[in-house]
Structure 1
Amino acid sequence: MNIFLNKKKFYLFILFYSLLAIFFALYVEHFLEYKPCKLCLYQRVPYIFAIFISFVGYNYFKNDKILILIVVIFSISVLISGYHYGIENNIFEEFSGCNAGALEIIDKSELLKSLNNNVSSCKDVSFKFFGISLAGINLLLSLLIVVYSLRTLVYEKN
């Protein structure tokens, strides 16, 4: 018996998983004091959407459009985390907004502002869990959710 093939339980799983992912990211940032890069912050956005969408899906679980939206949300998460993981492993180049060293400082006020803004580089892996960066874990888990979502979508239609 597979609990993920039932849509209502699947939405509940997505809701709790997304909440756990957001709380864990905030814990690492605020309590363990690791500064996230811009891509780390962008990776949280699909989870925030997933919290609201899975809550709606739990209450209206017979609508397939909500499950398709979950697939789209976590596919976006796969793209963002895959790109971030690629940057960490020197597969892709860092985009200009992510590079902490690419500052053009014109006057003293901009220098002070840049010193107060502790943005880490997307290349730097500051936190690992079981030897894998959080971007790598996010990539794997988001990919699993996409596969399970598609499987649930197909299984429930037949």
Structure 2
Amino acid sequence: MTFLTQRNLILLAAGGSAAMMLGALAFQHLGDMAPCKLCIWQRWPHVIAIGFGMLALLVAPRVMAFGGMLAALTTAGIGLYHTGVERGFWQGPTTCTAGDATSLSTDDLLAQIMAAPLVRCDEVPWEMFTLSMASWNAVVSLGLAGVWFLAWRRG
């Protein structure tokens, strides 16, 4: 049980976010999978959680652990939202998905096509065990939030 000190839990949680970021960057740069807008949104809370982890080692570990937990919950929430967009449960941002084009004029449709990003948020570029990267981010991030919570409670 001595391994589960507040410091070690913080290192584990922040290290988990760092591993998630390294994985995302590997998919992007080594796997040639450009991220969509929602993928980028999911990365920012991981970066913030890493920052909270580094700050926790210097000052106010309990406060920083709570911040890390909120960051992990935020990226998990974005991952769940992104999963819903991928599965067609709801529509994503209009700059990120294919919308309903039946009511658009020709000029409006052309403008939407020209402004559309190259990577769509409603398509799954990779999955494992029927879960997309967004889904895996949500699952892992919920686990990381749990580790942050344990670190916060140990404070």
User: 1:22 is matched with which residue?
Assistant: 21
Tell me what 1:64 maps to. Answer: 62
Could you tell me the percent identity over the aligned residues? 23
Q: What's 1:88 paired with?
A: 86
Cα RMSD (Å): 2.4
RCO higher in structure (CA 8 A, sep ≥6): 2
Query: So what's the TM-score if we normalise by structure 2?
Result: 0.81
CA distance in 2, matches of 1:57, 1:123: 37
2:150 corresponds to: 151
Aligned partner letter, 2:54: F
Give the secondary structure class of the aligned counterpart of 1:93.
coil
> Cα distance, 1:104 vs. partner?
4.9
1:97-116 alignment runs, 5 A limit: 97-99=95-97, 104-106=109-111, 111=114
The CA distance in 1 between the partners of 2:15 and 2:23, in whole Å, is: 12
1:128 matched to 2:131? no
Offset of 1:2 from its aligned partner?
Answer: 6.9
Counting only pairs closer than 5 Å after superposition, residues 30-45 of structure 1 correspond to structure 2 as 30-45=29-44
For 1:86-122, what per-residue CA distance to the aligned partner results, in whole angstroms no more than 9, with x for missing partners? 111222222212125778545xxx95xx59x52x211
State the alpha-carbon separation in 1 of the partners of residues 143 and 97 from structure 2.
30
Amino acid at match of 1:26: L
Counterpart of 1:82 in 2: which secondary structure? helix
- When normalised by structure 1's length, the TM-score is 0.80
Q: What CA distance in whole angstroms lies between the structure 1 residues aligned with 2:145 and 2:10?
A: 13
The residue type paired with residue 75 of structure 1 is L
Supply the distance in 2 between the matched residues of 1:41 and 1:129 (Cα, whole angstroms): 20
Q: Is the 8 A contact 2:63 2:152 kept in 1?
A: no
